[in-house]
Amino acid sequence: MAPTTVEGVPAYTEFHPRWYRPRVSVYWWLGEWRYLRFILRELSSVFVAVFVIVTLLGLRALRNGAEAYARFMHRFENPAAIALSTISFFFVLFHSITWFNLAPSAMAIRFRGRRLPNIVVAAPNYVLWLVASVAVAWLVLR
């Protein structure tokens, strides 16, 4: 069926004219702190992946016996490993904080007709974080 034409409005066609899209520099995220912070937050996931790989190596060491485990733990004691751990820790911390602070943006909780302040919505995340961290530490250190 041929498309019906309305006065002054072009008929529907599958092909549209090329959009005007100014080219954005590949380095668009370097100029402004907000953009850089966004990219750094996304890159925190790389350190999460590094953590998983190291954890898998640790599990393999545990599986291979006491000596392999001792060698694995010993490998963390050099300055390069400490540097990687420190950087990873701060990136993952950045991920945690930005993730927990998303809660008030994701849900607008109302109480007695008023919207709860952001900090009240995010706070349970921090409490749960503390509880989970203490539980893990207790199990490992016990």
Partner 1 sequence: MQKPSNEAFLWMLFSAGGVIAAFLVPVHILLFGLAFPLGWLRAPSYEHLMPLVRLPLVRIYLFLLCSVPLFHWAHRFRYTLYDGLQVKHLNEVIFTLCYGGALLGTIVAGYLLWTMA
Of 1, 9, 11, 24, the one binding partner 1 by CB under 8 A: 24
User: Cα separation of 72 and 68, whole Å?
Assistant: 6
Of 37, 82, 108, 115, the one binding partner 1 by CB under 8 A: 82
3-state helix/strand/coil string of the chain: CCCCCECCECCCCCCCCCCCCCCCCCCCCCCCHHHHHHHHHHHHHHHHHHHHHHHHHHHHHHHCCHHHHHHHHHHHHCHHHHHHHHHHHHHHHHHHHHHHCCHHHHCCCEECCEECCHHHHHHHHHHHHHHHHHHHHHHHHC
122 binds partner 1 (CB under 8 A): no
* Among 9-17, 74-82, 109-117, the segment contacting partner 1 (CB under 8 A): 74-82
* Among 1-9, 12-20, 55-63, 111-119, the segment contacting partner 1 (CB under 8 A): 55-63
Of 10, 37, 46, 115, the one binding partner 1 by CB under 8 A: 46
State the nearest-atom distance from the C-beta of 28 to partner 1, in Å. 8
Which residues form the interface with partner 1 (CB under 8 A)? 24, 26, 29, 39, 42-46, 48-49, 51-56, 58-60, 62-63, 65-66, 69-70, 73, 76-77, 81-82, 84-86, 88-89, 92-93, 95-96, 99-100, 125, 128-129, 132-133, 136-137, 139-142
